[in-house]
Structure 1
Amino acid sequence: MLKRVLTVEELLQAPGLGLDLLVAGDLALPVLGAHTIEIDGVGNWLERGWVMLTTGMRFTDGRASSHSFGELVAELTACRAPALLFGVGVHFDRVPEELLTAARTSGLTVAAVRADVPFWTIESYVSRALDRRDSLLARQELELQNGLLETLAGDDPVRALVHRLGLLIRGTAVLYEESGRVVASTGEGPAMLIWNEIKDARPAQFRVVVGRWHVVARPTVLRGVGYWIALGSRRAEVLDELAEPVLEATQRLLGAVRGVRSLSTAQAVAESSEILSLLRAGITPEASTRLWDRLRSYRFQRGRPLRCFLATALPQPTQTQPGLQGGSPADEILQVAQEYGLPLAFDQHNEHGQQSQISGMVGEEIGVDPWTSTVLQNFHMGVSEPFVDLHQARAHFRDAERALRVAVRRAGYRGLTKGAMEQPARSAGLLVRFEDADIINWLLSSRSPDAVATKTNQQFSQLLAHEDLVVTLVAYFTRGMDITATADELFMHPNSVRYRLRRIEKIIEAPLASAAVIANLYVALHDRISRAEQ
């Protein structure tokens, strides 16, 4: 790929310009233009990066001295001129030695121009060279960007983009989260060693050498989340030519990837929402044929088992910030399903701008376990039993709702049993499949916790007024109704336990030997018993 600018060295080597290098400064400096100046005040007429041409006319009025030559060199250095081209055979037969001495001291490149070479030839050459390079560069950058844009068409555009970057620079490319996690990488470069150099960096872009690798890295922010793009090559000149345009294009494309993913998720959710609404309302066996046709675009196949699911957001989800590849929990859920070819149709419900619930259908196939793990990063989840007939979906959505209530209740037990000093920093959601819910939990899931508490208070209000008796009864149930084990649990004598059990029978006016009485008490105290059993 062509460099963006003409260098002093390339200008001096141009055929037909008759340039003779006398003092070599930094020959790699860019030449952005060339201008003839024969008067004082060089800084007023010369832009930064421009070469000055002169025949020395300003020194023909008796001012040719070491001081005056030094002043010119100082002016050129101050305005960052990359070189001075001195025309000989006009006012001076050769470049004054005093000028060369000052140039050597300051590091300014000086070259002589033969008398038969017009200055306009050099100015025209520089102008044409820069125009030609700008045109070629624009065309090459367009080709580079078109190549990178092709990556958006794939199922995993982020990985495809990073892979294409590695091919472009013939080296390694890595995309990091700001935590240091590698989102995608390609090539043989030392990704973790590179990150060790990046993690404490603050500049907008920096360059570093890691072993044999020359690395350029740049931070980027997408929707408030920080990432780093790192390009590594064993050839420094490759990064000189390609790093800047490649990094700029990559930043724009990463933003486009996020936009494409968000649009894809929104479209998938919007299109599936209508289908799911019909299924929740209930359909006839005849109508299921039409819906199977519509579900083919979501990878569902007639006769293959599927499950209904319902999930509610965790108070503090484990995924505290959106990931690049999806952006939101819904994006991540859709992406994992696509990676495994998993049939999925879902919609989402929001409250106060926050995603609170998702529901839908998922295929009972390979890939459902990693997909479920993704959901549980942000949600509790209830899942129905597998089924194959769409007209049964309404009942299975109700089963998924009941399973979710069981999951939420169990999560409540788990939270209440953890002490204040052992609260986990991150806690995944709970999954309950309808077939795994025990009868008690299943029955309780059909009633709200408030309704259960109200009924319990109505029937056992006198017993609940005696906390010591309730504690004894909970321990009695959790220890398999073994009086000795209950006494050990409560640090009491077995006779004291027997005394309290008799008091309970007297209050409730029913014997604890009755299976019906035990069942009622067990359901009434189920939450406390479950917490005690944790």
Structure 2
Amino acid sequence: MYDFEGSVVSSTGEAPTQLIWNEVAATNRRDLNTEIGRWHVRTRRVALRDGVHVIAIASRTVDTLDQIGELLLDTSERLLGAVHGIQYGATRRDRRDNEQLIAALHDGVVPAREHRFWNQLAQFRFPAYAPIRALEIAPLSDGSATEAHLSLLIGRARSEGLPFLTMLRRADMDSPATIAALIPDSEASAQWLAVTAHDFLIGVSAPSSALSAVPDSVREAETALGIARQWARAAETPENIGAVLIDRIDLSTWLLSHVDARQLRERIVRTLKPLASAQLLDTLITYLAAEQNVTRTAEVMFVHPNTIRYRLTRIEEAFGESLTSPFSLANVILALHPEIIGRAPELRHR
């Protein structure tokens, strides 16, 4: 029994409820009329947009259920449908307002109108004039994002109480769809990103409190997502890469992300051409990902450290330069950078 504020004033305890649920979960029947201990129980399954709900009423007197059981079930089903309809309508309205606002920010706003948009962001619980980050999110499979992915992310953000503006978008007609989003730059956001990166590739812009700079932030997030895709293709466990924050990547990654991809690939092929052996190439990648630790490399590759030293000597002979040379080492690291980054999470995991 509840008072008008929703507080429980009287209860039989959790045991009867659990017993009733166990009985309901064991059957797929729409209506159930049974006895559980001293309780006479009637249930009804109701299918709504968000899934199947079960309404259950119980009484110690079977006559009570015979007299008003069907009336209570009918009334409860109508109320549940009405509440769900109101919630669904509100959710759709919020989604529409959400998408309109983030689309306007992506298009760009003039500094003189920023205060108006901050007022709108406040309706979605964004702290006023606090730094925000732009996100570009794609499935780990590197395919197109879908409404199902979008709903999943919205649900996760809502469950964590995280302010979250989002929409599906395509950079151009030939590109796969991604999920664009704006989140506050906060510890809660960092934790949400860490968890979400297990299921998605995420590119994140630098924080900015200027709404007029959102288009620039979007481009940064796109660049970061491109880096995440490169690392994922080179990694055995892409779910361990984590979100790529453009303001926290190293200089080499940043430089490589701003070079023409076709020309970069041609230069990499030319640089690595002397190393024709796949075994030597794999050894070099593992050695660099293991921070040039011969013992660690040997452990990961299940060989003796002397075998690694022998292979490194052959690699130096192939390149005609010592790997202790900073210039030679810099060239090799740049050529193998995505592979090294992709291998590093695996080494940490092991």
TM over 0.5: yes
SS at match of 2:123: helix
Tell me the amino acid that sits aligned with residue 219 of structure 2. R
The partner residue of 1:462 within 271, 274, 278 is 274
Give how far 1:205 is off.
0.6
What is the match of residue 51 of structure 1?
A: none
390, 393, 410: which one aligns with 2:211:
390
Report how far residue 373 of structure 1 moved. Answer: 7.7
User: What's the counterpart of residue 279 of structure 1?
Assistant: 105
Decide whether aligned partners of structure 1 residues 200 and 362 sit closer, same or farther in structure 2, where only a CA change above 3 A counts: same
Once the two structures are superposed, the pairs formed by residues 297-376 of structure 1 within 5 Å of their partners are 297-315=123-141, 330-331=150-151, 333-334=153-154, 342-349=162-169, 357-364=178-185, 368=189
Distance 2:323 2:224 in 1: 31
Which 5+ residue runs of structure 1 have no aligned equivalent?
Answer: 1-159, 173-186, 317-326, 419-426
Q: Residue 326 of structure 2 corresponds to which residue in structure 1?
A: 515
Counterpart amino acid of residue 457 in structure 1: V
The separation in 1 between residues aligned to 2:285 and 2:265, in whole angstroms, is 16
RMSD (Å), alpha carbons = 4.4
| Structure 1 letter corresponding to 2:164 | L
Q: SS at 1:462's partner residue? A: coil
How many Å separate the matches in 2 of 1:261 and 1:330?
Answer: 18
- Paired residues for 1:64-143 under 5 Å: none
> Out of 220, 227, 232, which is 1:399 matched to?
220
Q: Any idea what the Cα deviations from partners look like across 1:379-437, whole Å, max 9, x if unmatched?
A: 433333433221222232233333434444555555x259xxxxxxxx79943444444
Which residue among 471, 494, 516 is the counterpart of 2:282? Answer: 471
How many Å separate the matches in 2 of 1:260 and 1:409? 44
Shift of 1:206: 0.8
1-side partners of 2:331 and 2:115: how far apart? 46
Higher relative contact order (CA 8 A, sep 6+): 2
Measure the CA separation in 2 of the matches of 1:434 and 1:404. Answer: 9
Q: Residue 136 of structure 2 contacts residue 180 of structure 2 at CA under 8 Å; is this kept in 1?
A: yes
Change (3 A) 1:256 1:282: same
8 A contact 1:342–1:365 mirrored in 2: no
Shift of residue 449 of structure 1?
Answer: 7.8
Alignment counterpart, residue 192 of structure 1, candidates 11, 15, 18: 18
SS at match of 2:203: strand
Question: In the alignment, what sits opposite 1:229?
Answer: 55
Q: CA deviation at 1:460?
A: 1.8
The answer on whether the counterparts of 1:340 and 1:366 sit within 8 Å (CA) in structure 2 is no
Distance 1:359 1:203, change over 3 A: same
Measure the CA separation in 2 of the matches of 1:190 and 1:409.
Answer: 55
Scaled by the length of structure 1, the TM-score of the pair is 0.51
Q: Distance in 2 between matches of 1:383 and 1:347?
A: 15
How far is the alpha carbon of 1:439 from its aligned partner?
4.0
Query: Judging changes above 3 Å, is the alpha-carbon distance between structure 1 residues 330 and 456 closer, same or farther for their aligned structure 2 residues?
Result: same
1:157-306 alignment, distance < 5 Å: 188=14, 190-223=16-49, 225-306=51-132
Separation in structure 1 between the aligned mates of residue 204 and residue 285 of structure 2, nearest angstrom? 30
Counterpart contact for 1:171–1:233, Cα < 8 Å: no
Cα distance change, pair 515–248 in 1 and its aligned pair in 2 (3 A): farther
The alignment partner of 1:298 has SS state of: coil
Say if 2:243 is the partner of 1:431.
Answer: yes
Matches within 5 A, 1:45-60: none
Do 2:198 and 2:242's aligned partners in 1 also have CA atoms closer than 8 Å?
Answer: no
In the other structure, the counterpart of 1:42 is none
Equivalent pair of 1:307/1:386 in contact (CA under 8 Å): yes
Rg larger in structure = 1
SS in 1 for 2:27: coil
- Once residues 314 and 368 of structure 1 are traced to their aligned partners in structure 2, the CA distance between those partners, rounded to angstroms, is 20
Identical positions, percent: 28
Q: Which amino acid aligns with 2:120?
A: R
Judge conservation of contact 2:134–2:183 (CA < 8 Å) in 1. Answer: yes
- For residues 127-146 of structure 1, the C-alpha deviation after alignment (integer angstroms, 9 at most, x for no partner) is xxxxxxxxxxxxxxxxxxxx
User: Are the aligned partners of 2:203 and 2:244 in contact in 1 as well (CA < 8 Å)?
Assistant: yes
**Alpha carbons of structure 1 residues 237 and 404: separation in structure 2 relative to 1, 3 Å:** farther
Looking at structure 2, the residues matched to 197 and 248 of structure 1 have their Cα atoms a distance apart, in angstroms, of 21
Aligned AA (1:222): L
Distance 1:340 1:362 in 2: 12
